[in-house]
Structure 1
């Protein structure tokens, strides 16, 4: 009954936000880099920080004792991301807030107390890189919603049946928010986009969960719960560096962008393929007892090969686009 009530509250919250976004013209206008062609409401991903606020209301004591640092980090990164969705902020402001949020995240996951000082920069780079990867991959209908749901359901299964690494509701509330967002975004004509507030917010939440899992098990294979996004982003960066492009500028070189824009593959088909690919990898991770190095090779060699094959097949069409 509690979860039904939470779902109703989340639906009510996002519908209220739609009214606000429509009134104040918080929209996403298509441009030459966009994979969509219609004006759509932006910032629907605000449902994720709202879900955490509701989680705090229903779990007040635990929130005050355990989740306060995570909550401050989440609110900070979501607030600056939402402001950036509405009106572009300077990079210095965004980077500063991201830094503070990551500090709070690493404090929440006890990374500072469990690892020596010299490793902290590595965790900063990995966390900020993963956050940005989640943001980069939020470009077509259903991508963030479907991929996030697969990852969260996997984490729920691990927490329930393999090893308890966090309070179950902390995962369930994120799942309910994902389902509500999925209802409005996983469509041929999406009602809303996640915006930076959504991609950064849920990315922050999932990074926290996976870090808690790794801290509990000391098993680093669980970082591969991000592997599909990771492979896509890393190979795209390598390609852009090889072509001597500025990797900090917006582009249309991601495979999902090429499939959507050049091959005209339906967005929901692409999003489903990415989600299913990560689901298959997750199943392999959970039930495999192989060494981490072997697991990485088994995942990355086929995935990287598929990526390169598709990129080569699309090369001619893409070159004609960028001329």
Structure 2
């Protein structure tokens, strides 16, 4: 019954937000770096942090400080959606929110070098997830794959709140109804992508801590490899990596290769789902260890580079600005 209430409440909230956003002109206007050619409401991803708050209120879970951290990162991201903030302010809030998260899940009990590495990876993940939010459906589909994987894992390895996972899945499905289409009604905005990335980081870190299996980091392999390789290639070209661009693989597929946004989003989601299933089976059957993880990352990265090279060659793409 509570899930029905959650579904109805979140649907009404998102519909209300879309109406208010149109009135206040909180919209995304396409520019030369956009993958869209029409105006749509920005910030529809506000449904994700609202879903987490609703979970806290309905189920009274002991995660108040993490929800506070989520709201901090959501509010600053929403402000950034409306007015362009100084990147240093945004990063400061990201660090504060990440610190609260790691404090609450007792990461600071680990050796300092582990804490430092988790800090870097978490902050990198949040920003990478935000960079990947450029076409219809990709954030929602990827989030749905990750949350569903966590929910499946949680049945046998209790590392997270199933109620929160289901609530977030409901919010993702509602968001996808308005976003996963050729002409989206709303985009996630920074508030949506950053908030969802934060929540997914919470889930993955919790899973790794409970199982002591770092191999589960492959659950984020598709986004991680696309973002990391793209950043390295841009640095090699001496680009400003904080400047908007259209050089992710998914952007080549959508903009130059002319595949529909929904098709590209589904492909990314299905590839990650396949990796997730493979990782779960490998760990269950004791095929996975650190060296297999290392070779898996190298192999996936190599496959990504080959595909990227072939696509860029096919579209005769050259760096031009």
TM range (shorter): over 0.9
Q: 2:265 and 2:18 mapped to 1: Cα distance?
A: 24
Q: Is the 8 A contact 1:133 1:229 kept in 2?
A: yes
Q: 1:25 is matched with which residue?
A: 25
Aligned positions of 1:1-323 closer than 5 A: 1-60=1-60, 62=61, 66-113=62-109, 115-160=110-155, 162-288=156-282, 289-290=286-287, 291-298=289-296, 300-302=298-300, 304-315=302-313, 317=315, 319=317, 322=320
Q: 1:275 and 1:2 mapped to 2: Cα distance?
A: 28
Q: Is the 8 A contact 2:222 2:272 kept in 1?
A: yes
Distance 1:252 1:239, change over 3 A: same
Greater mean alpha carbon deviation, residues 262-271 or residues 296-305? 296-305
Deviation at 1:319?
A: 3.8
1:231-277: CA deviations, max 9, x gaps?
Answer: 10111112112222222222111001111111111100000000000
Q: 1:86 and 1:318 mapped to 2: Cα distance?
A: 36
Deviation at 1:57?
A: 1.4
Q: 2:36 and 2:104 mapped to 1: Cα distance?
A: 37
Aligned length: 317
Q: Is the 8 A contact 2:56 2:64 kept in 1?
A: no
Q: 1:21 and 1:233 mapped to 2: Cα distance?
A: 30
Q: Please list every run of 5 or more consecutive structure 1 residues that lacks an aligned counterpart in the other structure.
A: none
Partner of 2:66, secondary structure, is helix
Partner of 1:138, secondary structure, is coil
Q: Is the 8 A contact 1:259 1:265 kept in 2?
A: yes
RMSD: 1.6
Q: 2:38 and 2:188 mapped to 1: Cα distance?
A: 15
Greater mean alpha carbon deviation, residues 304-313 or residues 239-248? 304-313
Deviation at 1:183?
A: 0.8
Q: 1:181 and 1:244 mapped to 2: Cα distance?
A: 37
Query: So what's the TM-score if we normalise by structure 2?
Result: 0.95
Q: 2:105 and 2:182 mapped to 1: Cα distance?
A: 38
Q: 1:5 and 1:307 mapped to 2: Cα distance?
A: 46
Q: 2:41 and 2:306 mapped to 1: Cα distance?
A: 34
Query: So what's the TM-score if we normalise by structure 1?
Result: 0.94
Deviation at 1:167?
A: 2.1
Q: Please list every run of 5 or more consecutive structure 2 residues that lacks an aligned counterpart in the other structure.
A: none
Q: 1:206 and 1:302 mapped to 2: Cα distance?
A: 21
Q: 2:320 and 2:193 mapped to 1: Cα distance?
A: 27
Q: Is the 8 A contact 2:45 2:192 kept in 1?
A: yes
Q: 1:229 and 1:146 mapped to 2: Cα distance?
A: 12
